[in-house]
Amino acid sequence: MATAKRATEPISLKPAVNPATGLVTVNVFDGSRQPMPQDKSILLTVHDGAQNQLFRDFVNGPSIQLELPFHNNFADNYSIIAFADGYEQAGFQPVPIGPNAPSELDLMLLPKNGTFHFAGARWTDVVAQKPLLGQIFAASVPGPASDAYSELMEDRPDRLACLLNITTALQQISLPQNSPLDYFKTFDLAALAADRIFGFADATLVDQVRLAAQHGEFDT
């Protein structure tokens, strides 16, 4: 059975002493990317890869350490789901474990009936804080970029949120040279969706991704 430790207890990221178990630290955040308050009860559910429920109970966040059985087979691909009152549940699968490789999982719980909040993501904020994104966006529209950005914010806030989230992630990926976003020329704003973006990039990006994969950064 899994055991959960409260966030107030020290969390060790050292390999599990018991070779028959593995450690997973679950970090729970709210929709503003802030850690959940410690006094907020979180319902945590854990299934192993064979769909056996090993843990389901309320715990205090924002970080919970789980010690789970290690089988050395498909059953080690766990699914972990978190829920809190007033929030949508969130989960992830597979969460692989091993006795010598502690895992860490970040989950974000969005508030129910939540709305988009762009107070810190106006066009002037983008130009000042994310100049590369601003340059690519400006090159993607025929007229004033500020007008196109404001129109997207008012009419399709879900698509703008997707653009901001994905481009932020792209800029945080380290390729052998630069980040993936550095190779983008324009975005296809007409094709934006709530879960994906499209654009035109320098073909060198393909070579950079292959090199990064060869270095073990990620899989192609």
User: What pLDDT was estimated at residue 13?
Assistant: 44
pLDDT at 142: 96
Beta strands 63-69; 3-5: pairing state: antiparallel
Question: What ranges make up the beta strands (E) of the chain?
Answer: 3-5, 21-30, 41-47, 53-60, 63-69, 77-83, 90-96, 103-109, 184-187, 199-201
pLDDT digit of tens for each residue in the chain (220 aa)?
555 544 444 444 444 457 889 999 999 999 888 999 999 999 999 999 999 999 999 999 899 999 999 999 999 999 999 999 999 999 999 999 888 778 899 999 989 987 888 989 999 999 999 999 999 999 999 999 999 999 999 999 999 999 999 999 999 999 999 999 999 999 999 999 999 999 999 999 999 999 998 888 765 4
In the prediction, which pLDDT does 7 show? 41
Q: What is the pLDDT of residue 215?
A: 83
pLDDT of residue 12: 43
pLDDT of 8: 41
Strand partners, 69: 21
Distance CA 3, CA 12 (A): 14
Residue type, 171: Q
The whole-number pLDDT of residue 4 equals 58
What does the block give as tokens for 205?
Answer: 């990006």
pLDDT at 218: 67
Give the Cα separation of 50 and 26 in Å (integer): 20
The predicted structure's pLDDT at residue 219: 58
Residue type, 195: D
